[in-house]
Structure 1
């Protein structure tokens, strides 16, 4: 009996010891913090072996920022020892011999892609400008592009796309915003900021209309005389003129062309942007085939997401 009881005690004590050791190991593993990437590794003076090929990049598999070898296209743990072992590997040494040529190829592709993208954006804008100028349907943009693609062998015709969603977004976020900015800048750029009591144009653009004209008409020179006497008289005369709806009727006439029975489901922001683009080209006295698109408009168009959903305000 005594031998059996002692065996049972030994088994219980050994199982308890294993449980304690396992618990200790689990606590140690859970207390370990993930290693952080050391920015000094990118310093060529401190770590010349790492700086040329090492970078910090998000690993899509782990969701963490890890050390990345640009020559081998491999992720590594943020551990200096692992990186030093990677430097001594034969495959890494072979890839580093080809790495300078790889960087040159990437630079050439980047320099080629940038002007190509600008040409594609200009082509897409020119087609949409033609549509806005002639009050055509936005749906016809892709059809016009496909006709060009059948006749032209240039790469820009193959890369350009103008589906209905992308065309609408380009008109709203490109032409719409650009024309609004141009109109605001022309109205407010001619007067210095000091007349309005502001220090930057952002504050000037956000002024209320009443405050804007009050600042204009109430500005006095050191002698106490109005700075803009002619403008003040002109505003008084304009306010005395009888109201005329000719401009509004003219806009409605263009609206009937833009939003007819076949395009009765067209979004209001799209219609507004088409009319703005149309009147902008009329004011510039140039057609869609001859007008030069400003850099601001091209930047706005390049930042437009082609598949962005329409947000109703």
Structure 2
């Protein structure tokens, strides 16, 4: 696996900017190339100014550990950095915020895709092969957007509408 891993990939090399502990070691070209690739509509001059400001932050202003002393997750660290406000009350890093949000949303594996395919296989069974794609999409959205979809209790009118629709469909397709 290590032989096949793309260690020299430009994106992977550039993502070192996500590590606040290495902010002094990174240069502006890394964030520019990532911004051009994942957030192309940002003002690069403003981004440069904000990135330099971020690099000059003192370590005491970057909360790398939580109250118990354990290392915070990188998204929590960036959440704190991007919520910083100068005395005037505006967000300190508005352009950097857009770029970091785009970078932190990059999937780290294909687990999410595999999870969705698994859910589709559970919905689209042999008994339900004729599901319309809109129906399949709606059922999948319900499953993915609900913490406990098995606990959903439809109202009486919803059940009646579903039964009527099923009856009408079955009558048309005998």
TM beyond 0.5: no
Q: Which has the higher contact order (CA 8 A, sep 6+)?
A: 1
TM range (shorter): 0.3 to 0.5
Q: Tell me the TM-score normalized by structure 2.
A: 0.33
Bigger-Rg structure (1/2): 1
Which protein is richer in strand relative to its size? 1
Q: Tell me the TM-score normalized by structure 1.
A: 0.20
